[in-house]
Amino acid sequence: MPAFDTIVIATDGSESVRRAVDVALDLAERFDAAVHALYVVDEGEVAASPEQVREEMRDALDDSGRDALESVASATDRSVTTAVREGRPATEIREYAVDNDADLVAMGTRGRHGENRFLIGSVAERVVRTCPVPVLTVRQLEAEERGDAA
């Protein structure tokens, strides 16, 4: 059975990552692993915004990231190391995992809705393809899978 000493949870604060956070925190508890929560401010999203609002966009994304990290930290009694980085999300997640000697990266998948539904989001796909650390992707359950009333 593999041992996990350090687990990195990549979060964007969305609903779709909530289950991944729960699964990762459960693993951390079972293996008594250190937990790191990482949020990446997407430099591409900032650069694509109009120049006159880029600073506000960066600040809003940074605030959103801090809220997302606080959500992870408040979901457990364990100590959680938090970090906000700016750059390309997949690259930053990979580098953070390597820099912190992570044994596992946990993240959600975000598929698109409708007919063109994808199994895995582009950031998660890039992390899975390029990260030298094992990556656990966890999809958000649909309402019927959770047993919610339709």
Q: Is residue 148 part of a domain?
A: no
Note whether residue 149 is domain-resident.
no
> Does any domain span residue 81?
yes
Domain count, the chain: 1
Q: What is the pLDDT of residue 1?
A: 57
Would you say residue 150 lies in a domain?
no
Q: Give the pLDDT confidence of 72-86 residue by residue, as tens digits.
A: 999 999 999 999 999
| Greatest CA separation for the chain | 53
Model-level pTM? 0.85
| Alpha carbon distance 122, 137 (integer Å) | 12
Q: Is residue 122 part of a domain?
A: yes
Residue 39 covered by a domain: yes
Instruction: Show the domain range for 108.
Output: 6-143
Q: Say which CATH number the domain at 97 has.
A: 3.40.50.12370
